[in-house]
Amino acid sequence: MRVTVFNGSPRGRNSNSHRIIEPLLDGAREAGAEAEEVFLIERNIQQCRGCFHCWGVTPGQCVLDDDMAELINLYLESEYVGLATPVYGMYMTGLLKNFMDRFLPLATPHIQRSDDGTFYHEGRVKRFPRQFFIVNSGFPGEHNFEVLQAFLSVAKRMNPGSVVLEVYRNCGEALQMTEGENSPVAARIARFREALRKAGREMVTRGEVSLETVEQIHLPLATDEEYMAAANRHWDDQIGQAQP
């Protein structure tokens, strides 16, 4: 079984997204899966041109010659695919959105109507992987996830059962601000990582992630006050160091 996560953070290997993906994929490997993280920032992914050649002229084939053909193959060969993004302007990064737009060749052009009155394009392949989403925000609280949650609720309605896990990690910067520390926040991060590892194992062995694990993943890393104080101290230090 293959599990692949596409990391849409421009910070790539130094991202908080990576700090969340890593234990989850370790858990998947422990359960016997082949697991890989793809850093989209390191790949050559051009912008969709909107020419629709992949629908009319060369069905299923994009005109652009870059890494996307390889990445779409990897996507289709995977049983589970994770899409990871930090919250940018309340939504996903341009990097991840750009990557997702390039999946147009996998859709057929004709507009279909579903039973619930919504419209869709039939997929060009028989089997699509099941998906999971990993989102982290720089703010505390939950309101920064609302746009992505709305996006995902439409996706889930259109493809019931296709989404196996959603991770909404607020206070995302705590994942690196406290690295190497021996603090209560660091202990909660260790607990968070352990829950992610369990989620990876469960996904592979049971085909779902238990409610208990989802709840453990979403336990707070810090109080709003702790996080605000640490984040604001961090910026005071940075600005202080930058002064001559």
Ligand X SMILES: Cc1cc2nc3c(=O)[nH]c(=O)nc-3n(C[C@H](O)[C@H](O)[C@H](O)COP(=O)(O)O)c2cc1C
Binding site for ligand X (CB under 6 A): 9, 11, 15-17, 86-90, 136-139, 144, 172-173
Q: Rg for the chain (alpha carbons), in Å?
A: 19
Q: Which is nearer to ligand X, 206 or 233 (CB)?
A: 233
Burial of 212 (C-beta count, 10 Å sphere; 0-12/13-18/19+):
exposed
In the bound complex, what is the minimum distance in angstroms from residue 176's beta carbon to ligand X? 7
Side chain identity at residue 196, one-letter code: L
Nearer to ligand X, 166 or 173 (CB): 173
Residues 6 or more apart in contact with residue 98 via CB below 8 angstroms:
45, 47, 48
Minimum CB–partner distance for residue 95 and ligand X (Å)? 10
Q: Please identify, using beta-carbon distances, which residue of 136 and 213 lies nearer to ligand X.
A: 136
State the burial class of residue 154 (Cβ atoms within 10 Å of its Cβ: 0-12, 13-18, 19+).
Answer: exposed
Enter the tokens of residue 177: 């601000």
Measured from the CB atom, is 99 or 139 closer to ligand X? 139
Q: How far is the CB of 148 from ligand X (least distance, A)?
A: 10
Nearest distance from C-beta of residue 104 to ligand X, angstroms: 25
Q: Residue 30 Cβ, how far from ligand X at the closest point, in Å?
A: 24
Q: Which is nearer to ligand X, 212 or 237 (CB)?
A: 237
Burial of 150 (0-12, 13-18, 19+ CB in 10 A): exposed
Pairing of strands 163-169, 2-7: unpaired
75 or 88, CB closer to ligand X? Answer: 88
CB of residue 122 to ligand X, shortest distance in Å: 34
Residue 52 CB, nearest distance to ligand X (Å)? Answer: 30
Of the two residues 49 and 233, which places its CB atom closer to ligand X in the complex? 233
Please tell me the distance from the alpha carbon of residue 140 to that of residue 217, in angstroms, as a whole number.
15
List Cα–Cα distances, 215 to 87, 178, 181, 205, in angstroms: 21, 22, 25, 19
Task: Report the distance separating Cα 41 and Cα 1, nearest Å.
Answer: 25
